[in-house]
Amino acid sequence: MRTSLRQVAERAGVSGATVSRVLNDVNVCITPETRQRVKSIAAEMGYHPNRVARALATGRTQALALWIVNFRSPYYTKLMYYNRKQAESAGYDLMISGAQIRNGGSLDASKLVSWPVDGILAVDVPRGETPGLADGLFWGKPLVNMGGYVTDLADYVRLDFRHRANEAVLHLYEVGCRRIAYVVPDWFEWFEETDDPRLRGYQDAMKELGFEPEYIIIPNEWRSTAIAGVSAYYSAGNRPDALFCYNDDMAIGAYRAVRDLGLQVPSDVALIGCDGIEETEYLDPQLTTLEQPVSKMCEIAWRFMQQRIEDPSIPLQRAVVQPNLLIRGSSER
Amino acid sequence: MQVTLQQVAKQAGVSVSTVSRVLNNASVRVGPETRQRIRDIATDMGYRANGTARALATGKTHSVALWADNVLSTYYSQVICLLRTEAENHGYDLMIGKADTLADGSINSAKLMAWPLHGVLTIDLPRAHIPGLKQSLLWGKPFLNIGAYAEGDADFVKVDFTSAVIESVLHLDSIGCSRIANLLPDWLDFFEEVGDTRLLGYQLGMSQVGKKIEYIFTENERRQGTVAPLEAYIRENGCPQGIFCYNDDMAISAHLLLQKMGLRIPEDVALIGCNGIDDTDYLYPQLTTIVQPMERMCAMAWNQLEKRIREPDCALRQETLSAHLLVRGSTVKD
């Protein structure tokens, strides 16, 4: 049988209202000891408020969805970690979902929007149409997006790589590199469409230096494919002395390919990645990278979300954050 | 204006119940093309089920909660990724929660249980009293735990490291390591209490090769907590020729530190990690490690959880899988 609020109150020797306030984390004057005691008794008796009924009554479920395309990369893991941290401190639960892409390339979000959540945090919204998204609401639910690729139909926290990518390439020149190639996934059509900041930053710098851009094009953004692609490129007799890489995963793959060919990092080939995942610290030499301010990005996104939930009609909220060029052993000569 | 199921059915030229079954991933004799077409039409028209109302009507949201404590570690993120794929393939959503520990040390599941969930999965749940857990039902909902420390009155898929760790110690001995140390967090009481199979494997292996046990304690099980204690230990005691590490994160941290200290891997010190995370492939030399059968563990866990969702009172199923040793550059001397 289901335990009622009244039974918990009776056992704890307090009023039903006190139990309700404690379990809903309402900020009123109740001592920490009483709070703890009520929580313990409720847990022991198996009492839990009916959140669905409460959600129907209040219109809020105190849960958010986190929408991510690719979970396997450590960068997305980091984003999940910081989003969950924010959610927890605000008393929210977080559901995770992968974006599903339909045959025509548009997003299938029918399942996502039917979830009982108060809003959706989206990371790197994929290209293509997003039916139902307008004025910060996705089929009526607040949506805040963050990352390198965002849509301006909703609140966003955008990460702009352009200036730092430019700086990174100039840094490679300053340490003596004269043939600086860009290791990049084969998504040029999309890069043109989105005016991709990493690509632009690289192109700007190469132009400034009077060099022709040189691309090592990889089928996707993974480590394993980067190993094969970079290895094949060098084996064909090409000898760039520096590699700027689209992300850390590809840089880690390139690092392995270069070492396997008997070349040294950084003396034969200097390397720079993007994102700043933890693993870059544990390579020898450590990897120079454009570190994303993930924690800050999540904090801002969270603030935007709370404001949008509070008042869905406010004007669109926007923020742009910059990565940080972290110079380490892989590019120091 | 809210689009109705009837409008979608009319547009697709099928019955309302077919639309409903397709959108709810229920079984219905409809080809994949038709399924996709109905989904596309529903999306284009902006049809969406009222999740809250449906949850209230059925008591279910088609979601499963996952309790994991440390989502930042690569091992946990790999397991979470695999479980999410399982969930998706079976038409479920995953909610990521964290176990809340009460002052008396017991686990509080009240907040989680307030959701209309189908079940709860946990990875390495802290060892504590879990009120409401009986015969793999947590307050009546299917519950299953996985990982090295799975146990209790519940279904589980557990990983046993014993034989792989024994093999690791014998392997280090065979390549000529005279001292073989175990790098581990300072949780010996806990390890002894739960019969930690990594510790057990190390002790059994060392007794087989007739060597003296040598522990190097770290602050915790993470990368950052490993560097200072390991460095201090080596400065004081010299470096053992072989080190078996509690997990890959600690081994990766040791890998960098040892090279910085001017020690060569594997010539001066051979190194073995544990778990088999992707990161171990990308070190130079690659890390020898003990690989957990993560894919298998997650697939088995999901099968069993679904079974318990269908038959809440079915017999307990407690499986144990063995990890295996993968020898690579960090322990192979030329």
Residue A58 located in a structural domain: no
In this structure, the dihedral spanned by the alpha carbons of residues B125, B127, B133 and B138, taken in order and rounded to 10 degrees, is: -20
Q: Report chain B's mean pLDDT, rounded to a whole number.
A: 88
Exposure string (b/e) for A132-149, b if CB count within 10 Å is 16 or more?
A: bbeebbbbebbbbbbbbb
- B157: Cβ–Cβ under 8 A, 6 or more apart, which residues? B144, B146, B150, B297, B300, B301, B304, B319, B320, B321
Provide the CATH number for the domain around residue B13: 1.10.260
Query: Is A298 part of any domain?
Result: yes
Element (H, E) at A214: strand A214-218
B42 interaction partners in chain A (CB closer than 8 Å): 110
Contacting residues of A for B115, CB less than 8 Å apart: 51-52, 63, 93
pLDDT higher for B330 or A131?
B330
Contact pairs from chain A to chain B, CB under 8 Å: 165
Residue A303 sits in the same domain as residue A271: no
Give pLDDT, residue A98: 62
In a domain, B117, yes or no: yes
* Domain harbouring A140, CATH code: 3.40.50.2300
Tell me: do B261 and B313 sit in the same domain: no
Task: Say whether both B219 and B265 belong to one domain.
Answer: yes
Query: In this structure, are B42 and B77 located in the same domain?
Result: no
pLDDT on residue A128: 66
Per-residue confidence band for B289, with pLDDT thresholds at 50, 70 and 90: very high
In a domain, A189, yes or no: yes
Residues A25 and A84 in one domain: no
Which region among A156-160, A313-317, B1-5, B146-150 has the lowest average model confidence (pLDDT)? B1-5
Q: How many domains does chain A have?
A: 3
B171 and B286 inside one domain: yes
Tokens 């009526």 found at: A140
The single-letter code of the amino acid at A94 is L
Residues with Cβ within 8 Å of residue A162, at least 6 apart in sequence: A197, A198, A200, A201, A204
* Same-domain status, A45 and A103: no
For residue A13, give the CATH number of its domain. Answer: 1.10.260.40
Which has the higher per-residue pLDDT, B287 or A152? B287
Query: Is residue A20 domain-resident?
Result: yes
A153 lies in the same domain as A196: no
* For testing contact with chain B, the best of A129, A271, A284 (most B CBs within 10 A): A284
Is the CB of residue A60 less than 8 Å away from at least one CB of chain B?
no
- Identify the band that residue B31 occupies on the pLDDT scale cut at 50, 70 and 90: confident
- Hey, is the C-beta of A306 within 8 angstroms of any chain B C-beta? no
ipTM higher than the 0.90 cut: no
Per-residue confidence (pLDDT) for residue B246, from 0 to 100: 97
Please tell me whether residues B310 and B215 are part of one structural domain: no
- The residue segments making up the domain with residue B168 are 160-292+325-331
Residues A67 and A117 in one domain: yes
In a domain, A170, yes or no: yes
- Helix residue spans in B121-247 (DSSP H): 162-174, 188-194, 197-209, 227-237
- Does residue B57 lie in a domain region? no
Cβ-based contacts of A257 with chain B (< 8 Å): none
Same domain, yes or no: B155 and B165: no
Task: Please check whether residues B215 and B126 belong to one and the same domain.
Answer: no
Q: Is A62 left (phi over 0), alpha (psi -120 to 50) or beta?
A: left
- Asked whether residue B18 falls in the same domain as residue B95, the answer is no
A255 touches chain B (CB under 8 A): yes
Residues of B in contact with A104 (CB under 8 A): 40
Which range among A306-315, B127-136, B142-151, B242-251 shows the weakest confidence by mean pLDDT? B127-136
**B177 lies in a domain?**
yes
Range name among A66-70, A304-308, B10-14, B167-171 with the lowest pLDDT average: A66-70
Q: Which residue has the higher pLDDT, B225 or B88?
A: B225
Residues A108 and A141 in one domain: yes
Quote the CA–CA distance of B174 and A169 in Å, as a whole number: 48
Which candidate, A230, A180, A176, places its Cα nearest to that of A205?
A180
Average pLDDT rounded to a whole number, residues B262-276: 97
Would you tell me which residues 122-141 of chain A have a C-beta closer than 8 angstroms to some C-beta of chain B? 131-132, 139
CB atoms near residue A163 (< 10 Å):
16
Q: Which residues of chain A have pLDDT under 70?
A: 1-2, 49-57, 59, 69-72, 98-115, 126-128
Do B102 and B250 reside in the same domain of the chain?
Answer: no
Q: Do B114 and A49 touch (CB under 8 A)?
A: yes
Q: How does residue B26 score in pLDDT terms, banded at 50, 70 and 90?
A: low
Residue A188 and residue A313 in contact, taking contact as beta carbons nearer than 8 Å: no
Q: Does B10 touch chain A (CB under 8 A)?
A: no
Q: Do A284 and B52 touch (CB under 8 A)?
A: no
Q: Output B206 or B128, whichever has higher pLDDT.
A: B206
CB B287 within 8 A of CB B271: yes
**DSSP letter string over B224-257?**
TTTHHHHHHHHHHH---SEEEESSHHHHHHHHHH
According to the model, what pLDDT value does residue A103 have? 53
Confidence at residue A16, expressed as pLDDT on a 0 to 100 scale: 85
- Of the candidates A94, A139, A252, the beta carbon closest to that of B96 is on A94
**CATH code at B277?**
3.40.50.2300
CB–CB of A115 and B93 under 8 A? yes
Query: A136 and A27 share a domain?
Result: no
Question: Residues A318, A272: one domain?
Answer: no
Give pLDDT, residue B117.
Answer: 80
Cβ <8 Å between A61 and B111: no
Q: Given this model, what pLDDT does residue B247 score?
A: 96
One domain for residues A137 and A198 = no
- Residue B194 C-alpha, separation from nearest chain A C-alpha, in angstroms: 24
Among B39, B132, B255, whose Cβ lies nearest the Cβ of A108? B39
User: What would the mean pLDDT of B24-45 be, rounded to a whole number?
Assistant: 78
Instruction: Give the chain A residue whose CA is nearest to the CA of B111.
Output: A48
Would you say residue A54 lies in a domain? no
A57 occurs within a structural domain: no
Collect all residues of chain A within an 8 Å Cβ-Cβ radius of residue B283.
Answer: 282-283
Is position B217 within any domain?
Answer: yes
A132 and A90 together in one domain: yes
Helix and strand element counts for chain A (H, E): 12, 16
Q: Are residues B84 and B14 in the same domain?
A: no
Of B6-20, B111-125, B229-243, the range with the highest mean pLDDT is B229-243
Q: Is A282's CB within 8 Å of B113's CB? A: no
- Residue B153 sits in the same domain as residue B302: yes
Least confident of A29-43, B32-46, B48-62: B48-62
Among B34-48, B235-249, B315-329, name the one with the lowest average pLDDT: B34-48
Q: A173 with A281, same domain?
A: yes
Flag whether B58 is in a domain.
no
Q: What is the pLDDT of residue B243?
A: 98
* Domain annotation covers residue B55: no
State the smallest CA–CA distance between residue B276 and chain A in angstroms.
15
- From chain A residues 233-252, the ones with a CB under 8 A of any chain B CB are 252
Please state which of the ranges A92-96, A104-108, B64-68, B91-95 shows the lowest mean pLDDT. Answer: A104-108
Q: Is some CB atom of chain A closer than 8 A to the CB atom of B55?
A: yes
Number of domains in chain B: 3
Contact B102 A72 (CB under 8 A): no
Q: What are phi and psi of B171, to 5 degrees?
A: -65, -45
- Beta bridge partners, B156, equal B145, B318
Chain A residues within 8 A of B47 when measuring between CB atoms:
110
Percent of chain B at pLDDT above 70?
88
Instruction: Assess if residue B54 is contained within a domain.
Output: no
Structure confidence at residue B310 as a pLDDT band (50, 70, 90):
very high
B110:A48 CB<8 A: yes
CB of B104 within 8 Å of any CB in chain A? Answer: yes
Of the candidates B47, B71, B279, the beta carbon closest to that of A279 is on B279
Q: For residue B192, is it within any domain?
A: yes
Whether residues A219 and A314 fall in one domain: no
Structural domain contains residue A226: yes
Which residue range forms the structural domain that includes residue A266?
Answer: 162-291+325-331
Tens of pLDDT, residue by residue over B98-120, are 666 666 767 767 666 767 788 99
At A100, the amino acid letter reads Q
Residues A161/A163/A164/A169 CA torsion (nearest 10 deg): 110
Provide the shortest C-alpha distance from residue A219 to chain B (in Å). Answer: 20
Considering the domain architecture, whether residues B166 and B286 belong to the same structural domain is answered as yes
A52 interfaces chain B, CB cutoff of 8 Å: yes
pLDDT of residue A108: 60
Of the spans A59-68, A72-81, B133-142, B258-267, which averages the highest pLDDT?
Answer: B258-267
